[in-house]
Amino acid sequence: MRRLRLPLPPAQFPLVWEPGDEVELRPTADIEARTAVLHLVLARCFGMPAQAGMSWLLSSHLVAAVTPPEWQFVAGSRGDHRSFVLHHDAVFALSWVLGLTKHLDPEAPTDERLMEVLPNLPAGETFSQWRSRTLAAPRDAAEAAALLDLYYCLDWGYLEVERRGEARPGFLDANAIGQRRWALEWAIIFHGPYHDPPAGWEEIDLST
């Protein structure tokens, strides 16, 4: 945080986890499905026809993995187009969790090879074909949790910088940082007395 010249969170800032908590990643298949669905939503943002999107979801058996807001957008272009476009950085973070990209550097934009490691939608590559091609090697849960801790603090710092009207560090803005945090918050599960059951994608709380 200091290296990025960001303000530090206040002393009473809530912690991501407590001593004694245990951590794990969601099942790999669930993370892969969420990555693929978000990738499809982004494709719809950039011109993929609704019928093609629906057909891909059906052939990939991923309809059940789509949230209600995503379904409304994919099927009928209803919803905030701009908010769905922002999911690009969430996809990047999930790809990092799966071991498909090399970094999740808060000072750098998404990996230029990102599209190569995602389902090739124009070619009709199905979800199962993509999984066979990529062979995900998920990160260690503790490593992912440590990066979530950083992005948790970065999210606060970037929003504080924008609130003050100061220049942000690097290429990313608060939206990109928040999207990466959203993905990490969803993919990582903590077990302990102060944690609720894992939340759904649309239920992730980024208010703190």
- Domain housing 104: 28-134
19, part of any domain: no
Give CA–CA dist 161/1, Å, rounded: 12
- Pairwise CA distance, residues 203 & 115, whole Å: 27
When the pLDDT of each residue in the chain is averaged and rounded to a whole number, the result is 94
Bin 180: left if φ > 0, else alpha if -120 < ψ < 50, else beta: alpha
Side chain identity at 176, as an amino acid letter?
A: A
Q: At what angle do helices 88-97 and 174-187 cross, to 10 degrees?
A: 40
d(C-alpha 101, C-alpha 118), whole Å: 10
18 has a pLDDT exceeding 90: no
- Residue 17 in this model has a pLDDT that exceeds 90: no
Per-residue pLDDT tens over the stretch 145-195: 999 999 999 999 999 999 999 988 888 999 999 999 999 999 999 999 988
**Pairwise pLDDT comparison (112 vs 192), residue with the higher score:** 192
Split at pLDDT 50, 70, 90, the class of 106 is very high
| pLDDT above 90 (res 14) | no
Query: Facing residues of 188 across strands?
Result: 25
Neighbours of 162 (CB within 10 A): 14
Asked if residue 17 is part of any domain, the answer here is no
pLDDT tens readout for residues 51-103: 999 999 999 999 999 999 999 999 999 998 899 999 999 999 999 999 999 99
- 41-58: b (≥16 Cβ within 10 Å) or e: bbbbbeebeeebbbebbe
93 and 184 Cβ atoms separated by less than 8 Å: yes
Q: How many domains does the chain have?
A: 1
